[in-house]
Protein backbone atom coordinates (compact mmCIF):
# COMPACT_ATOMS: atom_id res chain seq x y z
CA UNK A 1 0.00 0.00 0.00
CA UNK A 2 1.32 3.38 -0.89
CA UNK A 3 1.15 6.04 1.85
CA UNK A 4 0.84 9.71 0.94
CA UNK A 5 4.00 11.77 1.50
CA UNK A 6 2.39 14.01 4.09
CA UNK A 7 1.33 11.01 6.13
CA UNK A 8 4.85 9.55 6.03
CA UNK A 9 6.13 12.88 7.24
CA UNK A 10 3.66 13.02 10.12
CA UNK A 11 4.22 9.39 11.12
CA UNK A 12 7.91 10.19 11.49
CA UNK A 13 7.07 13.12 13.75
CA UNK A 14 4.77 10.91 15.84
CA UNK A 15 7.66 8.49 16.22
CA UNK A 16 9.93 11.29 17.46
CA UNK A 17 7.32 12.02 20.14
CA UNK A 18 6.99 8.37 21.19
CA UNK A 19 10.75 8.03 21.31
CA UNK A 20 10.98 10.90 23.77
CA UNK A 21 8.48 9.55 26.30
CA UNK A 22 9.59 8.27 29.69
CA UNK A 23 9.78 4.50 30.17
CA UNK A 24 6.77 4.55 32.50
CA UNK A 25 4.47 6.20 29.97
CA UNK A 26 2.64 3.15 28.65
CA UNK A 27 -0.19 4.89 26.79
CA UNK A 28 -0.48 8.09 24.77
CA UNK A 29 -3.61 9.85 23.52
CA UNK A 30 -4.10 11.25 20.02
CA UNK A 31 -4.90 14.57 21.73
CA UNK A 32 -1.45 14.75 23.31
CA UNK A 33 0.29 13.99 20.00
CA UNK A 34 -1.92 16.51 18.19
CA UNK A 35 -1.26 19.23 20.74
CA UNK A 36 2.51 18.86 20.52
CA UNK A 37 2.37 19.19 16.74
CA UNK A 38 -0.30 21.87 16.72
CA UNK A 39 -2.56 19.82 14.44
CA UNK A 40 -6.04 18.40 14.73
CA UNK A 41 -6.42 15.19 16.74
CA UNK A 42 -8.78 13.71 14.15
CA UNK A 43 -5.81 13.94 11.75
CA UNK A 44 -3.66 11.95 14.14
CA UNK A 45 -6.31 9.26 14.55
CA UNK A 46 -6.80 9.06 10.79
CA UNK A 47 -3.06 8.65 10.18
CA UNK A 48 -2.73 6.00 12.85
CA UNK A 49 -5.65 4.03 11.42
CA UNK A 50 -3.43 3.28 8.41
CA UNK A 51 -1.26 1.25 10.78
CA UNK A 52 -4.20 -0.88 11.94
CA UNK A 53 -3.29 0.21 15.41
CA UNK A 54 -6.37 1.35 17.22
CA UNK A 55 -6.42 3.31 20.44
CA UNK A 56 -8.59 2.34 23.35
CA UNK A 57 -11.21 4.70 24.71
CA UNK A 58 -9.99 6.70 27.71
CA UNK A 59 -6.60 5.00 27.56
CA UNK A 60 -5.11 5.85 24.20
CA UNK A 61 -2.50 4.03 22.16
CA UNK A 62 -0.01 1.59 23.57
CA UNK A 63 3.29 3.40 23.09
CA UNK A 64 5.48 0.36 22.41
CA UNK A 65 3.02 -1.17 19.95
CA UNK A 66 2.51 2.13 18.16
CA UNK A 67 6.25 2.71 17.84
CA UNK A 68 6.69 -0.76 16.42
CA UNK A 69 3.87 -0.30 13.89
CA UNK A 70 5.33 2.97 12.64
CA UNK A 71 8.77 1.40 12.38
CA UNK A 72 7.41 -1.51 10.38
CA UNK A 73 5.24 0.65 8.16
CA UNK A 74 7.99 3.12 7.30
CA UNK A 75 10.77 0.56 7.18
CA UNK A 76 13.11 2.08 9.76
CA UNK A 77 14.61 -1.32 10.31
CA UNK A 78 15.28 -1.97 6.64
CA UNK A 79 18.59 -0.23 6.28
CA UNK A 80 19.21 1.61 3.02
CA UNK A 81 22.83 2.31 2.19
CA UNK A 82 23.76 5.62 0.61
CA UNK A 83 26.75 7.63 -0.56
CA UNK A 84 27.32 11.29 0.24
CA UNK A 85 28.63 13.14 -2.80
CA UNK A 86 30.65 16.19 -1.76
CA UNK A 87 32.69 16.13 1.45
CA UNK A 88 32.19 19.82 2.22
CA UNK A 89 30.42 21.37 5.20
CA UNK A 90 26.93 20.08 4.53
CA UNK A 91 28.10 16.66 3.31
CA UNK A 92 30.23 16.21 6.41
CA UNK A 93 27.39 17.34 8.68
CA UNK A 94 25.05 14.79 7.09
CA UNK A 95 27.71 12.08 7.41
CA UNK A 96 27.88 12.91 11.13
CA UNK A 97 24.10 13.10 11.64
CA UNK A 98 23.71 10.24 14.11
CA UNK A 99 19.93 9.92 13.92
CA UNK A 100 19.90 8.80 10.27
CA UNK A 101 21.11 5.35 11.29
CA UNK A 102 18.19 4.87 13.73
CA UNK A 103 15.77 5.52 10.90
CA UNK A 104 17.29 3.20 8.36
CA UNK A 105 19.66 5.47 6.45
CA UNK A 106 23.23 4.21 6.51
CA UNK A 107 25.85 6.42 4.90
CA UNK A 108 28.54 4.05 3.70
CA UNK A 109 31.08 6.34 2.10
CA UNK A 110 31.71 9.85 0.78
CA UNK A 111 33.06 11.10 -2.52
CA UNK A 112 34.82 14.27 -3.59
CA UNK A 113 37.21 15.47 -6.30
CA UNK A 114 39.41 17.47 -3.90
CA UNK A 115 42.71 15.68 -3.34
CA UNK A 116 42.93 17.31 0.08
CA UNK A 117 39.75 15.52 1.13
CA UNK A 118 40.18 12.18 -0.62
CA UNK A 119 41.50 9.50 1.76
CA UNK A 120 40.28 11.27 4.88
CA UNK A 121 37.71 9.71 7.15
CA UNK A 122 34.67 11.62 8.42
CA UNK A 123 32.77 9.94 11.24
CA UNK A 124 34.15 6.59 10.12
CA UNK A 125 33.18 7.13 6.47
CA UNK A 126 36.06 7.23 4.01
CA UNK A 127 36.19 9.94 1.35
CA UNK A 128 36.86 8.37 -2.06
CA UNK A 129 37.74 9.92 -5.38
CA UNK A 130 34.49 10.76 -7.18
CA UNK A 131 35.64 8.70 -10.17
CA UNK A 132 35.18 5.56 -8.04
CA UNK A 133 31.42 5.98 -7.53
CA UNK A 134 30.45 3.58 -10.33
CA UNK A 135 32.78 0.86 -9.18
CA UNK A 136 31.82 1.11 -5.51
CA UNK A 137 28.09 1.46 -6.18
CA UNK A 138 28.20 -1.89 -8.00
CA UNK A 139 30.44 -3.62 -5.47
CA UNK A 140 28.51 -2.37 -2.43
CA UNK A 141 25.07 -2.47 -4.06
CA UNK A 142 24.33 1.20 -3.37
CA UNK A 143 21.98 3.20 -5.59
CA UNK A 144 21.19 6.23 -3.38
CA UNK A 145 23.34 9.37 -3.52
CA UNK A 146 23.02 12.41 -1.27
CA UNK A 147 24.19 15.34 -3.36
CA UNK A 148 25.88 18.20 -1.50
CA UNK A 149 28.37 19.58 -4.03
CA UNK A 150 28.59 23.32 -4.77
CA UNK A 151 25.71 24.62 -6.89
CA UNK A 152 27.79 25.14 -10.01
CA UNK A 153 28.88 21.50 -10.17
CA UNK A 154 25.51 19.96 -9.28
CA UNK A 155 24.23 19.28 -12.80
CA UNK A 156 27.44 17.80 -14.10
CA UNK A 157 27.94 15.59 -11.08
CA UNK A 158 24.30 14.41 -11.18
CA UNK A 159 24.71 13.27 -14.76
CA UNK A 160 27.93 11.54 -13.86
CA UNK A 161 26.12 9.73 -11.02
CA UNK A 162 23.34 8.67 -13.38
CA UNK A 163 25.96 7.13 -15.65
CA UNK A 164 27.58 5.43 -12.66
CA UNK A 165 24.51 3.42 -11.71
CA UNK A 166 22.96 5.70 -9.09
CA UNK A 167 19.14 5.56 -9.25
CA UNK A 168 18.09 7.92 -6.43
CA UNK A 169 19.48 11.41 -5.85
CA UNK A 170 18.59 13.28 -2.67
CA UNK A 171 19.49 16.74 -3.90
CA UNK A 172 20.60 19.27 -1.25
CA UNK A 173 21.85 21.77 -3.84
CA UNK A 174 19.79 24.78 -4.94
CA UNK A 175 19.92 23.55 -8.51
CA UNK A 176 17.40 21.62 -10.59
CA UNK A 177 19.11 18.56 -12.01
CA UNK A 178 18.54 17.42 -15.56
CA UNK A 179 18.99 13.66 -15.40
CA UNK A 180 17.46 10.74 -17.35
CA UNK A 181 13.85 9.88 -16.51
CA UNK A 182 14.73 6.66 -14.68
CA UNK A 183 16.69 8.55 -12.00
CA UNK A 184 14.46 9.63 -9.13
CA UNK A 185 15.38 13.05 -7.73
CA UNK A 186 14.14 14.45 -4.45
CA UNK A 187 14.85 18.14 -4.02
CA UNK A 188 15.56 18.95 -0.39
CA UNK A 189 14.50 22.53 -0.86
CA UNK A 190 15.81 24.19 2.30
CA UNK A 191 15.19 27.64 0.91
CA UNK A 192 11.61 26.83 -0.07
CA UNK A 193 11.02 25.43 3.40
CA UNK A 194 12.37 28.55 5.03
CA UNK A 195 10.21 30.77 2.84
CA UNK A 196 7.11 28.73 3.64
CA UNK A 197 7.87 29.08 7.30
CA UNK A 198 8.44 32.82 7.24
CA UNK A 199 6.11 33.84 4.43
CA UNK A 200 3.88 36.05 6.47
CA UNK A 201 4.01 39.65 7.55
CA UNK A 202 4.81 39.10 11.18
CA UNK A 203 8.42 38.14 10.70
CA UNK A 204 10.71 41.02 11.49
CA UNK A 205 12.52 42.19 8.44
CA UNK A 206 15.96 43.68 8.33
CA UNK A 207 15.46 47.43 8.37
CA UNK A 208 18.41 48.10 6.12
CA UNK A 209 16.54 46.60 3.20
CA UNK A 210 15.62 48.61 0.20
Instruction: Name residues contacting its own copies, limited to 39-98 (CB under 8 A).
Output: 74-75, 77-81, 88-90, 92-93, 96-97
Binder among 20, 24, 58, 115 for its own copies (CB under 8 A): 20
For its own copies, the binding residue among 22, 38, 58, 124 (CB under 8 A) is 38
Closer CB to its own copies, residue 24 or residue 209? 209
Give me the DSSP letters along 144-203.
Answer: EEEE-S-GGGHHHHHHHHHHTT--EEEE-SSS-----TTSEEEE--HHHHHHHHH-STTS
- Site stretch for its own copies (CB under 8 A), options 23-31, 42-50, 60-68, 104-112: 104-112
Closest CA to 79 of 100, 98, 58: 100
Does residue 188 bind its own copies (CB under 8 A)?
yes
Residue 136 found at the interface with its own copies (CB under 8 A): no
Q: Is residue 141 involved in binding its own copies (CB under 8 A)?
A: yes
Amino acid sequence: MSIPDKVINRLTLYHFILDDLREDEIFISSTKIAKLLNIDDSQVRKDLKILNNSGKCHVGYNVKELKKSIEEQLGFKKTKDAFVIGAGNLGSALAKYATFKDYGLNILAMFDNDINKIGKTINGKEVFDISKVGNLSKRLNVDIAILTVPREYAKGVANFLAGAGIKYIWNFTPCILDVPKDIKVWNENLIGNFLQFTNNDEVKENKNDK
